[in-house]
Amino acid sequence: MKTLEDIKAMSYQEKDELEDLVLEIIDNNDLVKLKDILKDYPVKISCYELNIKDEDGDFPLFDPFNLIIRAAHACEDNNNDFSILDYLFDEYGLSLKDPKYNFAFHDMKYIKEANDKYILMEEVEDTIIYQNALIYDYILNADNPNSQIIKYLVNRGAKFEVHKDGFGWTPMHFWVMQNNYELLELAIKGGANVDMQTLLDPKSEYNETLLFEAVSEPETYRVT
């Protein structure tokens, strides 16, 4: 089993090559090989500590976001085989209990606030950064996203309540305005709250739910 000193001694290139190998194994849905490799890399020092040094900063050996999102795609590609996701969460020890892990490490710097109820993302010019949250990344990039995998991720701690600073909208609020009922249906079947409000002053009368947005414009009636 690798020690903290072993991991700290790795170069960024070695980290990159090893993570690519692990992700390839996940893509191939090879649980036996995945267990054989990860048994030597304790989750705490491999995923939740910034032990790899590089000129661009410090990084974990494995980004938890990358492992989870690739496992979600592998699950989809293999007829909803949840074995790798189950292993990563239940045996290896990945967790979304800390809401910041809804994002890849390089996007965490844009988190303005994160708690049990919501994540608030800073406004970033030319980048819709809040769509990079785990649950939205899966829905928007999967070939055939399905509600079972979405619900699984939500039950593990993935959040739909990822708001953009300013208007306070989530991607789902934009889907309503765009009449994207297919994505909305997927999200709601997967556990999204239709009463989710825009993140303004909690006492404000101007907070708007998804349903309010859906009926506020005639062209979005189909959503409801």
Residue-level pLDDT at 203: 56
Question: What's the pLDDT band for 66 if we cut at 50, 70, 90?
Answer: very high
Question: What's the pLDDT band for 158 if we cut at 50, 70, 90?
Answer: very high
Residue-level pLDDT at 63: 98
Residue 135 has pLDDT above 60, yes or no: yes
Angle at 70 between CA 64 and CA 74, to 5 degrees: 140
Q: How many residues does the chain have?
A: 224
Residue 12 has pLDDT above 80, yes or no: yes
Residue-level pLDDT at 215: 39
Rounded to two decimals, what is the model's pTM? 0.90
User: DSSP class of residue 99?
Assistant: G
Burial of 115 per CB tally in 10 Å (0-12, 13-18, 19+): exposed
Q: In this predicted model, which residue has the larger pLDDT, 194 or 190?
A: 190
Residue-level pLDDT at 122: 93
Sign, Cα dihedral of 97, 73, 152, 44: negative
Q: What is the DSSP string of 115-180?
A: -SS-EEEPPBTTB-GGGGSHHHHHHHH-SS--HHHHHHHHHTT--S-EEETTT---HHHHHHHTT-
Residue-level pLDDT at 223: 47
Helix (H, G, I), strand (E, B) or coil at 30: coil
Distance from first CA to last CA of the chain, Å, rounded? Answer: 54
CATH number, domain 101-224, options 1.10.1660, 1.10.10, 1.25.40, 3.30.160: 1.25.40
Residue 103 has pLDDT above 80, yes or no: yes
Q: What residue ranges of the chain are covered by domains with CATH 1.25.40?
A: 101-224
Q: In this predicted model, which residue has the larger pLDDT, 93 or 173?
A: 93
Residue 24 has pLDDT above 60, yes or no: yes
Question: What's the pLDDT band for 198 if we cut at 50, 70, 90?
Answer: confident
Q: How many CB atoms lie within 10 A of CB 63?
A: 19
Residue-level pLDDT at 201: 56
% of the chain beyond a pLDDT of 70? 89
